[in-house]
Amino acid sequence: MRVVLSGGGTGGHIYPALAVASQCAEEFPNSKFLYIGGQRGLESSLVPKENIPFEAIDITGFRRKLSLENVKTIMRFLKGVRTSKKLLREFKPDVVIGTGGYVCGPVVYAAAKLGIPSIIHEQNAIPGLTNRFLSKYVSTVAVSFDNMNSAFPGAKNIVYTGNPRATTVFAADKNKGYDSLGLPKSSSVVLVVGGSRGAKAINEAMIQMAPLLNKAEHLRFVYVTGESYYASTMNTIQSQVGELPDNLLVLPYVHNMPEVLASTSLIVNRAGASFLAEITALGIPSVLIPSPNVTNNHQEKNARTLERAGAAKVILEPELTGQSLFDAIKRIMGDLEVHASMSEASRRLGKPDSAHLVVEEMRRLIQSR
């Protein structure tokens, strides 16, 4: 199978594409891949590390108001389509898949115009601008949440696959997670993380909560600050409580997140779609603090989906304090029945075979040509 992957800007778009590549290579060992991404996106550094050939195009996203920059974006899009057609003709893929971000716009559009089977994968409960545009041209729209047909009224085919990143995490070894944190394997771990770069609001709440942790000595709190917040967080907590509480571990970044997640009993996090796919694949209850600074407030919509199912407690940023966060954690971790119920609800939402379902749809499209 010859596959072109595209998607970028953030890990939420890149990691699902890499998960599809990994699953495809497992099911079809002779597969060949080409990743077409942006010159400026995170994919330009992440993808080559996976030994996947990478080609870059120059593309930017649309501004949400009329501007000269949008005219330039249209010109870059048209140039990107021409470049993508050239790359596709040279590589001769059996299928092209885009996992979001404006970079996959010209790539997937070019594939559709060349008659190559194409798929877009939408991670969020509310689709992004690029995927809404592409949905009218591609062979299949793969979605992470059920009942999303109304979000893509012009689509030819919509398939509920879940998020491929779930497959990567489901296979993780929790014992390696405990070992990497230096914790006993019987620990009840509360993982607090604000995304790869951290989150100011969660950081402030965690600082406020630090003096309360001695009231929950049976729990082990692991707080991943993000590189930019690490020094200031450590200094502020130590100025408040002296030495760090024995049950608090503060880290700037976690490089083996799937393994750490596998050892986690409760997570406090933003509500990015890929992360929600990961925690539901493992059946982890969550306290979700959706970022208000995202397009169409899609993180709150993602979070509310889990909350309605009984898998999460949502705290909006205006309601977030150290005390409100501690109370939510205490309610879940202090009641075995509540924790078990939320864990089961989370697991019901998970689709650990997501990557396989996407690859299966790729295979179907190739065979139906």
Q: Note whether 18 and 25 are within 8 A (CB).
A: no
Which residue is associated with the tokens 């409580």? 241
Which residues does 337 contact at the CB level (< 8 Å), separation at least 6? none
HEC readout, 39-104: CCCCHHHHHHHCCCCEEEECCCCCCCCCCHHHHHHHHHHHHHHHHHHHHHHHHCCCEEEECCCCCH
Distances (CA, A) of 288 to 153, 275, 291, 337: 30, 11, 9, 20
Please provide the DSSP assignment of 187-200 as one string. Answer: -EEEEEE--TT--H
Q: Known binder of ligand: residue 175?
A: no
**DSSP label of 201:** H
Helix count (H) and strand count (E) of the chain? 15, 13
Which residue is associated with the tokens 């809404």? 132
Q: Known binder of ligand: residue 274?
A: no
**DSSP label of 297:** G
Please tell me whether residue 230 adopts helix, strand or coil conformation: helix
Q: Note whether 189 and 263 are within 8 A (CB).
A: yes
Q: Known binder of ligand: residue 11?
A: yes
Strands (DSSP E) contained in 156-291 are 158-160, 188-193, 219-224, 248-251, 264-269, 286-288
Rounded Cα gap, residues 133 and 18, in angstroms: 23
Q: Note whether 38 and 49 are within 8 A (CB).
A: no
What are the backbone dihedrals phi and psi of residue 347, each rounded to the nearest 5 degrees, phi first? -65, -35
Structure tokens at 62: 């649309």
Q: Known binder of ligand: residue 299?
A: yes
Q: Known binder of ligand: residue 124?
A: yes
Half-sphere CA count of 48, side-chain side, radius 13 A = 9
Q: Known binder of ligand: residue 238?
A: no
Q: Note whether 106 and 81 are within 8 A (CB).
A: yes
Rounded Cα gap, residues 142 and 126, in angstroms: 13
Binding residues for UDP-N-acetyl-alpha-D-glucosamine are 10-12, 124, 196, 299
Which residues fall in the annotated binding site?
10-12, 124, 196, 299
